[in-house]
Amino acid sequence: MTARSRDEALVELKLEGPRVPHWLNDLGTRYGAVVKLHVCRSTEDRPRKLVRLLEITAAPDRLDEISTFLVSKAGRGNVAQTRVAAHRLIARLRTPLPAICQSVFDLGAICTSCPFLAEGDPEETESSWGLLVPRAADARPMIRDLKGSGGNPPRLIRVGKYRGPPDLTPRQELAVHLAHRMGYFETPRRADLDQLARALGVSRPTAMEILRRGLQKLAERHATGPAATRALGG
């Protein structure tokens, strides 16, 4: 690989810091939904607005509640929604532009995960999120700029080549997410497979298969990632 091609490789920054309070977090904590951010852009309005396209996966009996919740928070004229499957909802939201988002846009970066839909245990006071930048050298200017957006600044915990998200299906992501939140993986378990199946709205064997396939993909992803390569002497 030439120096030029290395410079042009997309770089992902992983940041960690205090959890950013926002009602979008309620989609996971209150409704047990898994949310994917597909599009996030700023408008040229004055004041500027933030447009997000979200894919929301949840138990079928929660999607109507989620639809109502989105309208109550963003306003009816600022939400467009489409039910694309029993478990999935696509929603376009138009809301005020937060200062932290303006800092990201001004630097020309792209969020790979949203600070308002932060990764990590919802009970924790800190969480992590990701940014995609053209060069590793953009990391420090980004952190400096985020310091100016108010509050405590995030910490840079990783700079690495962008690999993309695991290729789980929406139902596999929901199953893994719910199993973790419900305590299925804890010892002793706080939830069993029957409870997980009811939350997913499927039979027990189907829940087991969805969860198994999702965990298998995550394991394969981990086994071929940078940490595995270092462990093998690569």
pLDDT of 3 reads 44
* 60-104 pLDDT, tens digit each: 899 999 999 999 999 999 999 999 988 899 999 999 988 888 888
pLDDT of 234 reads 43
Quick check: 232 pLDDT over 70?
no
pTM: 0.67
pLDDT of 89 reads 94
pLDDT of 80 reads 96
Longest Cα–Cα distance of the chain, Å, equals: 55
Q: 91 vs 74, 100, 142, CA distance in Å?
A: 11, 22, 29
Distance of CA 24 to the CA centre of its chain: 11
Domain ranges of the chain: 3-161, 170-225
pLDDT of 63 reads 94
* 128-165 pLDDT, tens digit each: 888 888 777 777 777 777 765 556 678 888 888 776 66
Cβ proximity of 16 and 126 under 8 Å: yes
pLDDT of 52 reads 92
Confidence of residue 51 (pLDDT cuts 50, 70, 90): very high
pLDDT of 83 reads 94
Parallel/antiparallel/unpaired status of strands 126-133 and 11-18:
antiparallel
Structure tokens at 37: 């951010």
User: Looking at residue 119, what DSSP letter applies?
Assistant: B
